[in-house]
Amino acid sequence: MEKQEGSGLPLEGVRVVEFTHMVMGPTCGMILADLGAEVIKVEPPGGDKTRNLPGLGMGFFRTFNRNKKSVLIDINTPSGRDTAEELIGQCDIVLENFRPGLMAKFGLDYAQLSKKFPYIIYVSHKGFLPGPYERRLALDEVVQNMAGLTYMTGPKGQPLRAGSSVNDIMGGMFGAIGALAALQERHRTGRGQEIQSALFENCTLLAAQHMQQFLMSGEPPPPMPSRVSAWSVYDIFTLADNEQLFIGATSDKQFAILCNVLDRPDLAADPYLATNAQRVAQRPQLLERLGQTLKTHKLAELTPKLESAGIPYAPIVSPDQLVSDPHLIQSGGLVDMQTEDGSITKAVLLPLLMGGRRPGVRRALPRVGEHTDEVLSRLEASRTA
């Protein structure tokens, strides 16, 4: 494959063409792009509709499409499909996440492309892997309900979806993992393969620990809000001024240290609270006693003491507060990125250190079709070569 500009990143020289929208497929492309691949995002005339979503979808495009190039191709037309196929022939990896059967209708599925390009690695992001459900359309919230996540998250009888597109994002991650494994296998065999990543199976993995709990105990696991905790102090407490703080003391030593921090030697010395098992047996009463004390503590004064003592704790943080989180900023995980309209926003980087560096933002977010001439001119050059 033709090499791109030098980046020094592990996927430098790998070329990816992406037929995706929303979250799952774009996440896969973003991971590969962040790791150095040249990722070419094919958009329809007018651009990816995800660029202009309102409400909770507003941040999708800017979050999951950095470090990519944008090319306008209308694959609804014969000439557009021909161009797309020619572009695919110059790439290592194809990504797609459209409804089942759509890419086959356009002649751009793996079965048809692999006959011409046996080296191609083709990553499909779907709702379900092959089986009884495979023709169903799926959304993150659909599979969260089907695979036990909403049941485990909300109180009993009140299923609640997770507060992020967890399966879309993780599905894109597994697509990227599969693509990287296929690249490694291609080094040995010279042949590509089809990778399939699916929302339902992804969410089932998230619920696997609870499935195993049932298989081991014979008892259906209760939702997390009504679970029987393995630890006595592992909860959210209300402090002074109605501030909230999670505190976890998971060992006898941590419980004694917490009692010292809170100036409750009576709890530390109580023989009926000496072991975790004893404390769990009296958990409601213990939490009430701790809660009365914690109501007198201010968050800003208590958290440095807990940190110094080595007690796990966490304030309840909303996403808007993360924009100014000192650890994210100082660790290099939240950086400036130029957007498609020329303004500057903040981008959350991959949670990775590689050789001491964070794979970061290398290019501005692409404008609609910004790289069409650049990318398609290579096709013209290859025809005349």
Closest CA to 366 of 90, 145, 71: 71
Alpha helices, DSSP H, located in the chain:
24-34, 60-64, 78-89, 102-105, 110-116, 140-146, 149-153, 166-189, 199-206, 208-217, 252-261, 265-269, 276-281, 283-294, 299-309, 319-322, 326-330, 372-384
Cα 345 to Cα 116, 157, 342, distances in angstroms:
42, 40, 10
- CA torsion sign for 98, 104, 108, 113 is positive
Q: Looking at the DSSP assignment, which residues form a beta bridge with residue 123? A: 95, 195
Residue type at 9 in one-letter notation: L
Q: Looking at the DSSP assignment, which residues form a beta bridge with residue 348? A: 334
Tokens representing 351 are 């949670």
Angstrom distance (rounded) from CA 107 to CA 104 = 5
Closest CA to 362 of 34, 65, 64: 34
Angstrom distance (rounded) from CA 93 to CA 180 = 10
- CA torsion sign for 160, 164, 165, 171 is negative
Angstrom distance (rounded) from CA 30 to CA 95 = 11
**φ/ψ (deg, to 5) at 311:** -95, 130
Q: Looking at the DSSP assignment, which residues form a beta bridge with residue 333? A: none
Angstrom distance (rounded) from CA 259 to CA 257 = 5
Containing H/E element for 194?
strand 194-198
Q: First CA to last CA across the chain, in angstroms?
A: 15
Active-site residues, by number, are: 168
